Each structure stands twice: as C-alpha cells, then as structure tokens.
Amino acid sequence: MRSVSVDLNHDASLLIDIPDALCERDKVKFTVHTKTTLSSFQKPDFSVPRQHEDFIWLHDTLVETEDYAGLIIPPVPPKPDFESPREKMHKLGEGEATMTKEEYTKMKQELEAEYLAVFKKTVQVHEVFLQRLSSHPILSKDRNFQIFLEYDQDLTVRRKNAKEMFGGFFKNMVKSADEVLISGIKEVDDFFEQEKTFLLDYYSKIKDSTAKAEKMTRSHKNIADDYIHISATLNTLSADDSTKVEGRVASDQELKLTELLRYYMRDIQAAKDLLYRRARALVDYENSNKALDKARLKSRDIPQAEEHQKQCLQKFDKLSESGKKELTSFKGRRVVAFRKNLIEMAELEIKHAKVSICLEHVHTLMCAQRDASEPSSGFDDVGMAF
Amino acid sequence: MTALGKPPDSPPQLSLCQSAVRQCVCVCVSVSYPPSSQSTMADTARDPPPELSDFQELQDGEDLFPEPSAPLESGPASLPAEDISTNSNGPKQDSLFDDDPEDLFAEATEEVSLDSPERDVLLSDGPSPAITPITPPCSLITPHIDMFTHCSFDEIEEEEGGDSFDMHISVSDPEKVGDGMNAYMAYKVSTKTSMSLFRSQDFSVKRRFSDFLGLHSKLASKYLHIGYIVPPAPEKSIVGMTKVKVGKEDQSSNEFVEKRRSALERYLMRTVKHPTLLKDPDVLQFLESSELPRAVSTQALSSAGILRMVNKAAEAVNKMTIKMNESDAWFEEKQQHFDNLDLQLRKLHASVESLVCHRRELSVNTALFAKSAAMLGNSEDHTALSRALSQLAEVEEKIDQLHQDQANADFYCFSELLGDYVRLITAVKGVFDHRMKTWQKWQDGQILLQKKREAEAKLQFNNKPEKLQQAKDEMRELEGKVQQGERDFELISKTIRKEVSRFEKERVKDFKTIIIKYLESLVQTQQKLIKYWDAFLPEAKAIS
C-alpha cells in the first residue's frame, strides 16, 4: 500500500507512522507516532491517539488556508468502512442453521480476514496521508499539522461543529458550480491549458476504472465464497487450500490495483482543486482588471483599484508558479507509483497462479491414488481437491 | 499377475514416497477411464515414441518405491499406480486390457505439460499423511480386470468382464427439422463398437428428444420393478424447446441445445454401460434401426403424461403407508446412505451452479474493466505508462475470456454431472421402493393365505366337502403365489445388491474422472494466467 505514494517517510527530520489502531464498533482509534529532530516540537518521540474526524479536520483546515492555495493538498483519507464485512457477518449469523459446522467456521474465517483487510487498509490510508504532509516542504511546517501531531488531549474542541460541517457541504456545492464556469475560461498559459484538459479527462477515466476494478474484485470474492461452500459440502478432511488461494487472489488484487486507482482518483481530484483555485484567482485578476479600467474611466478610486489589481496578479502568479511545480512533481509521483504497483500486481498474480498449480497437481495426484471401491472416498478426494 | 477376486470393500491403499514422486516428472498412474471414442479392442497401440522419456522416468521412480511387501488390509496386493497425465495435444488412447503386464503404459496416459522446475517445486519435503505404502510394480495392471469381475454374482457378468466394454456413443449435429410449433431438433446418434451384439461396427441414426424419452419409459416399465437402476432421461423443458421452435438463434437457445445434446449423450452412455440394459432389444433398436415409431405418450401435456403424474402421486402416498420389517441391515444402511447422498449432492449442485453464475459475472466485469483500462491508457500522457496501461487492458481482456472458458468447464464438467446424479439417486430410491412394494405383495399374499387356511380349517370342522375342495384348490394356488412372491422378493433384493454396488463403483469412477478433468482445467487456466502476466511484466518494468 505504501507503494501507492512512493518516497515518503524518508526524511529523518520528521518520521510519522501509525503503529497500532483499535477498533471499537464503528470507531477506529489510531495511534499516531512521531519521531522528529526538529526543534519546533516539544519532544523528539511521542504518540497521540487520533480519530478519523481529526484527520478530516486537519485536511479541511489546510484546504482553507489561503497560503496553500497553490499546493495540492493530499486527499483526505476515506472513512473506515466496515459496512460490507459487517453485513456479511450478519447474513452469516442468520444462515448459521443451514450450514455445517465446518462451513460456518470457514465462512467466519473468511469474513474475519476481510474485516482485517479493511482494517489494515484504513490504517494505511491514514498513514499515507500524514506521510504526504510530512514530506512536503511547505505543508510539513504547518502549525495545525503540528498541533495534530503533538496535542496530547482530545482535539474535539477544535473540530468542526455541526454548523460548520453544513457550511462545508454548501461550499462544496458552490465549488462544483464554479468548476463548470471555470473550465470554460480561456487559459493564458499553455502548461495549465494542457494540464486542465488532461486532468479533467483522466479523472473521469480513472473514476470509471476504479468502479470496474471494484466490481471485478467483488466477483472474485463471490467465487471464493462459493468454493468454501463447495468444499464444506464435500466434507473436506484436509485444508481447502485452493479456496484460500482464490480468496487471496481477490484480496491482493484488491489491494494493488483497486487501491492504486482509488488513491489516484482522489489525488487527481486534489490536483483539480488546485487548478480550480488558480482559475478562480485568474477570474479575480481579470475582474480586478475590469474594475481598474472602470475606475480609470470614472477617474475614481484609482489607487485602490490598482492596488487590488496588483494583489490579484501577485496571487495569481504565486499560484501559477507553485501550481506548476506541484503538478509536475505530481505527474512524476503518479508514474512511479503506477509502475511499482503494476509490477507488484503482475508478480503476485504469477506467484499465486504457480501456487494454485502446485496445489491442484498435488490434489490430482492424491485424488487419483485413492482406490475406487470405497463409496465415500470419492468425496474425500473431491473435498481435498478444493 | 496376482489373483483376481478381491472383495469389493477393501480399498488397497497406494502411496508414493515423496522422493519417488519427485523423480516422476510425468505424474504416472493409469486410471480406468471410460472407453474413449478413438479406441477399439483391436487397438492396443502403445503410446507414441515421444512418451518414452516418461517411461524412463517412471522406471526410475519405481525403483525408489519402498518395501515390496506392502501391508494391506486384505486380499491380494494389487493396485494400480494410478496414472494421470494430461496432454493437451494428443488424443486419448485407451485400451482397457493390456497384453503385456510389464508395460506400465498400457493404460491411456497423457502428459502433464509443465516445465520441470514447476514440478520440482510442486513436491515438498516430508511425507504426506494421505500416502501409504505402494505395492510392487508387477501387479499394476490387474485391477482393471478386477473392476469388472471381482464382484460378479453372475456367470454372464463374468463373461462380460472378460469381454472389454468397448463402445462409444456420441450425440451430435443438432438439426432443426420442420417449422413453427411442430418443429423439433433431430440429433445424430453415432455408435462405434466392436461388440458382436451389433450388426456393424460404426453406424448412426437420427433421433429426436421424444425418442429418447420413449426409450427410457420402455426400459423403466420393464426393469425398474425388478430392481434394476434404469438411468433417468434428461428433463423436458417446455420453455427451452419453445424458444428453439420459434427460431430464436441466440446465445441462450444455443446453450440450451448444447446442454441437451450433452445430456442425451451422457444418458445413452450410462444406459449402454449397464450390462443388462445393453442387451435389451429396445436399446438395440434405438441405436440401430433407421426408423423408430414415434413415442407419443411422452408428450408433457398428453393424457398419458397426466396419467403418469397421477400415478406418481398415488405411489408417493402408498410409499408412506408401507412399513417394512427390514430383516436385512444392508438395505437399511444403504437407504440411509442414499438419503444422505441425495441431500449432499443437491446442496453441492446448488453451490456449483452459484459458482458458475459468479464466474460468468467475473468474466463480464473483467471485460468491462479491460475497456476502461484501455480508455485510461489512451488518456495517459506519459508514453510508457500509457503503453503499459493498454497492455494491462489487453491482458485483462484475455483473462476475461479465460474466466468464461473456466465457467464453461465448471458448468459442463461438474454441474451437469451433479444434476445427473441427483436424478440417478432418485431412480435408486425408486428401486428400493419397488423392493418394498414387492415385499408388501408377498406379505399380503401370506396374510391372505393365512386367512384362507383358517377358513379351510373352519370348513373342515363344519364338514362341507365341496366347499372344502374349492378352498383347498384356492389355497394351493395361493401358496404358489406366495412362494412366487417370496422368490420375487429374494430376486429383487439380490438384483438391487448387485445394482447398488455397480452403481457405487460407477459413481466413484465418474466423479473421480470429472474431478481430475476439472482440476486439469483449473491448472490450464492458471498456466495461461502465468503466461499473460509474464508477458505484461516487462511492459510494467519499462515505465520510466
């Protein structure tokens, strides 16, 4: 999962990780551990407990900070979603009567594995978020970030209250309306024109791919479940290794491909947000130009208009400059991550296919060895085959 | 060769010690496959030269087998080193009885085509718990003869065993005949055999579905009530047939025809494998004569059909009221066994059908993803990454095809077989029921006889000579009937024992064959997967 965003957490001056997390019903409590040589922190090595809402708070404060308008803010980690395994667990409980004991145990194991996978995933996603921040030259120095890492009491008091959250939702809606307006704006800079076209297109494609990849892995999981039922019905004596292999292929594919796509979908959204902010600044600048012209015509308030125009231009230039840097490094980061993931995925597929073949050969061998006269032996063989 | 006549319930166990297996690059064992179409009794051709290397390897492996006197439960130490190998290229050659006991490859073998490194990896160190000592190589071949003779009760059957069962039937070329609602599918039934029972060695006829049903109903009426397990015919499907009649040339109607064709083939093969049914004139006529009288009473909605349904219902009610004093524990045990088997098979069938469904779903989703990945690749402006993504799309497309093929294998290989067996078990249970009915008839006869005896005694007491004579005559007749009833019951019990043991053998054989085939298909799928991902890997590595 770390390969989703490579080259993080290498700078010894600020090392962050989430070594441990607790799952209480719906809530996940992360233990955020920081090791630092920077003097801006009070201690060189410390840990704090954090909840998912704290991460959202941190992300939103960064987004709302004007100074960071020219930066790609790392996407907020998604909320831990235990819905799917929980639902399955519920269904399993209901269907317990119709299954044999071993079948039930096996299904339960599968579910527990799935639960664990979701849990691990969410820990990693939160970890990557923090590490993106710590490795960014500007964001790592953010005061709120420091508070997040250090403040050893509950952050609740600083978090959004209901009203603010509602305001956030409203802001999002306005933003998307703005997006539509802004994508129609004439771009002065070739680089940004290209980036805009590319990102808009790429985003829709990657969103589609993510959805399809998720469907694929869901089908894989269904097949793994079927194999469990089949092998259970066959009164397996030996472990149904083949089931695990099928199941594992599903979850590895899930981690590699789907997560990769999902993560970059969000990252690209963050990049798009940067473009949006810059475009907004451009609009402001153009508006300030118009205001200046008007002021000159009316010969009124010229100095303010000039000042305003200068500020807008400055802001726009600043955004353009940092934006260009960010987007270029983003592209590099993306390519490297894709490469690593695709290689790992292909290697895993090959490894699992080889393991499957071995297992299947062994089972074929054992199956053929059993003599035909025992009536029940036929099923034992079949059971072992799965 | 060691002695034949091994009792049926002693499964000699086989093992290969791990290092021995490691040596055997070809997983070598011979399995008594059902006779293949390509071979006849006359054809005892050995495997072509390319397989000689396997021969060497097997010999090496043989040398490493442990002590020659293997401890077995009972009976002679004869056991085949069961050999399966799958060769995706060559045709299956099958000669059930080899002339040369030393030739270890008399049985059909196909080679597993894998690279050796893979196979070395396959076998881990350490003994496997499922493996027990093997018997010496010289006694390899006998069990195939065993299969056919060792549990025979009948002289005739013994002879049958000596005569190899060499017959293959194929059902092919479904052709639509006629138009509209009177249309039907005609199938070509081709028989290849060298048995003297038939007029020629290679012949074919055209049959339609109702012909098959007619055959089954004739056989059922002749044999079911005396205890023979008559294989049930494939099921009717009004919906399926209507689609075909109407002329919809789409995927689902093609699938339906293929499903039916395959089911008909299995049905015929099962029927002719039964030594008694094979000799039945109706079967011979079905296979040989070019014209067959139309079996009208098999139509679903005919009066005969409805009558059948009513009878079935009545029978079911009757069955519930018969309480049989089972004196023979074997029957009780077997009935339990079949009830259990029925339950398990139905459950399994449901699971496998679900598997087929999900795999088809996976195939669809993979195809969708492939298209999406291709579009993503097009959008990507980094050239190498773009190329890699397009490659990924291609790989996924191939994989989707693979999934589809696997789904078909799941289905045709496994699911249909399970369906067949669910129906077969119903037939077996029916046979047990017939036995109960026969017993009932016998008992009823006895009760009646008893009553008549009492009546006769009364008559004697009351001294009525004419009525006495009549009573005595009636009694004699009844006694005859009762004796016949007892004989019938004994006969049906004996027949059922025979049939059940033959059935069980067939069943295990069938399942084993199918499982092995299924596993092989899984292996092939995995191999192709490896090939595809291996081809993709350098593309992914080339991204810079």
HEC string of B30-49 equals ECCCCCCCCCCCCCCCCCCH
CB-closest option in B509, B516, B530 to A353: B530
> CA of B258, closest CA in chain A: separation in Å?
25
Cα–Cα distance list, B492 to B337, B338, B448 (Å): 19, 18, 22
> CA of A113, closest CA in chain B: separation in Å?
21
> CA of B389, closest CA in chain A: separation in Å?
9
Q: Quick check: A210 pLDDT over 50?
A: yes
Q: Quick check: B53 pLDDT over 60?
A: no
In chain A, which residue's Cα lies nearest the Cα of B78? A371
Interchain pair A370, B21: CB under 8 A: no
Interchain pair B359, A223: CB under 8 A: yes
Interchain pair B29, A347: CB under 8 A: no
* Cβ B72 vs Cβ B135: under 8 Å: yes
Rounded Cα distance between B82 and A371, Å, is 9
Cα dihedral value B421, B426, B432, B433, nearest 10: -170
| pLDDT band (50, 70, 90) for residue B380 | confident
Show the tokens assigned to A309.
């125009």
Of residues B478 and B90, more confidently modeled: B478
Can you give the pLDDT at residue B116?
Answer: 38
> CA of A307, closest CA in chain B: separation in Å?
40
Can you give the pLDDT at residue B335?
Answer: 87
Probe site for chain A from B334, B386, B515 (most A CB atoms < 10 A): B515
Q: pLDDT tens digit string along B203-213? A: 888 888 888 88
Rounded Cα distance between B514 and B509, Å, is 9
CB-closest option in A220, A339, A357 to B362: A220
Of residues B431 and B405, more confidently modeled: B431
**Least confident residue range of A129-138, A213-222, A309-318, B418-427:** A213-222
For residue B186, the surrounding DSSP H or E stretch is strand B184-193
* Cβ B29 vs Cβ B135: under 8 Å: no
Rounded Cα distance between A377 and A370, Å, is 7
| pLDDT band (50, 70, 90) for residue B352 | confident
For residue B204, the surrounding DSSP H or E stretch is strand B202-208
Range B258-286 average pLDDT: 87
Show the tokens assigned to B530.
């490896």
Of residues B354 and A360, more confidently modeled: B354
Can you give the pLDDT at residue B321?
Answer: 62
CB-closest option in A222, A349, A372 to B509: A372
**Least confident residue range of B180-194, B406-420, B500-514:** B406-420
Q: Quick check: A38 pLDDT over 80?
A: yes
User: Is the complex ipTM more than 0.85?
Assistant: no
Interchain pair B527, A213: CB under 8 A: no
CB contacts, 8 Å: B27 with chain A: 361, 364-365, 368
Give the rounded percent of residues in chain A with a pLDDT score beyond 70: 78
Bridge partners of residue B187, in order along the sequence: B207
CB-closest option in B362, B369, B540 to A223: B362
CB-closest option in B368, B375, B384 to A205: B375
Q: Quick check: A9 pLDDT over 60?
A: yes
CB contacts, 8 Å: A366 with chain B: 128, 130-131
Can you give the pLDDT at residue A171?
Answer: 57
Q: Which amino acid is at A359?
A: L
Interchain pair A229, B122: CB under 8 A: no
Interchain pair A378, B118: CB under 8 A: no
Range B301-309 average pLDDT: 65
The DSSP letter of residue A256 is: I
Q: Which amino acid is at B443?
A: Q
Probe site for chain A from B119, B497, B512 (most A CB atoms < 10 A): B512
Of residues B255 and A168, more confidently modeled: B255
Q: Does A271 touch chain B (CB under 8 A)?
A: no
Rounded Cα distance between A167 and A161, Å, is 10
Contacting B residues, span 68-97, partner chain A, CB-CB under 8 Å? 79, 82-84
Range B99-125 average pLDDT: 37
Q: Does B380 touch chain A (CB under 8 A)?
A: yes
**Least confident residue range of B94-108, B240-254, B341-355, B515-529:** B94-108
Range A122-151 average pLDDT: 88
Q: pLDDT tens digit string along B438-465? A: 888 888 888 888 888 888 888 888 877 7
Can you give the pLDDT at residue B131?
Answer: 36
> For the stretch B418-437, what's the b/e string if a residue is b when 16 or more beta carbons lie within 10 angstroms of its beta carbon?
bbbbbbbbebbbbbbbbbbb
* Cβ A265 vs Cβ A206: under 8 Å: yes
Q: Does B25 touch chain A (CB under 8 A)?
A: no
Range A325-333 average pLDDT: 88
> CA of A167, closest CA in chain B: separation in Å?
35
In chain A, which residue's Cα lies nearest the Cα of B515? A382
> CA of A281, closest CA in chain B: separation in Å?
27
Can you give the pLDDT at residue B356?
Answer: 85
Q: Which residue has the tokens 């957490």?
A: A9
In chain A, which residue's Cα lies nearest the Cα of B129? A238
Helices (H) and strands (E) in chain A, counts: 10, 3
Give the mean pLDDT of chain B. 69
Q: Quick check: B373 pLDDT over 60?
A: yes
CB-closest option in B84, B147, B376 to A364: B84
Inter-chain CB pairs, A–B, below 8 Å:
217
Of residues B270 and A221, more confidently modeled: B270
Interchain pair B536, A362: CB under 8 A: no
Rounded Cα distance between A96 and B105, Å, is 49
Q: Three-class SS of residue A51? A: strand
Q: Does A379 touch chain B (CB under 8 A)?
A: yes
Range B53-63 average pLDDT: 38
Rounded Cα distance between B431 and B420, Å, is 17
Q: Quick check: A333 pLDDT over 60?
A: yes
> CA of B43, closest CA in chain A: separation in Å?
25
Whether pTM > 0.90 for this model: the answer is no
CB-closest option in A208, A233, A369 to B82: A369
Q: Tell me which residue of A354, A359, A249, A254 sits closest to B530, measured CA to CA.
A: A354
Q: Does B67 touch chain A (CB under 8 A)?
A: no
Q: Does B139 touch chain A (CB under 8 A)?
A: no
Q: Does A373 touch chain B (CB under 8 A)?
A: yes
Can you give the pLDDT at residue A183?
Answer: 65
Range A356-378 average pLDDT: 61
Show the tokens assigned to B176.
């639509």
Contacting B residues, span 390-409, partner chain A, CB-CB under 8 Å? 392
> CA of B62, closest CA in chain A: separation in Å?
15
> CA of B191, closest CA in chain A: separation in Å?
28
CB contacts, 8 Å: A222 with chain B: 358, 361-362
Q: pLDDT tens digit string along B146-204? A: 333 333 334 344 334 434 567 888 888 888 888 777 778 888 888 888 888 788 888 88
Contacting A residues, span 295-354, partner chain B, CB-CB under 8 Å? 331, 335, 338-339, 342-343, 346-347, 349-350, 353-354
> CA of A210, closest CA in chain B: separation in Å?
9
Q: Does A220 touch chain B (CB under 8 A)?
A: yes
Show the tokens assigned to B417.
């077989």
Contacting B residues, span 294-353, partner chain A, CB-CB under 8 Å? 337, 344, 347-348, 351-352
Interchain pair B515, A382: CB under 8 A: yes
**Least confident residue range of A288-292, B79-83, B301-305, B345-349:** B79-83
Range A285-302 average pLDDT: 87
DSSP percent split of chain A into helix, strand, coil, nearest 5: 75, 5, 20
Range A305-331 average pLDDT: 89
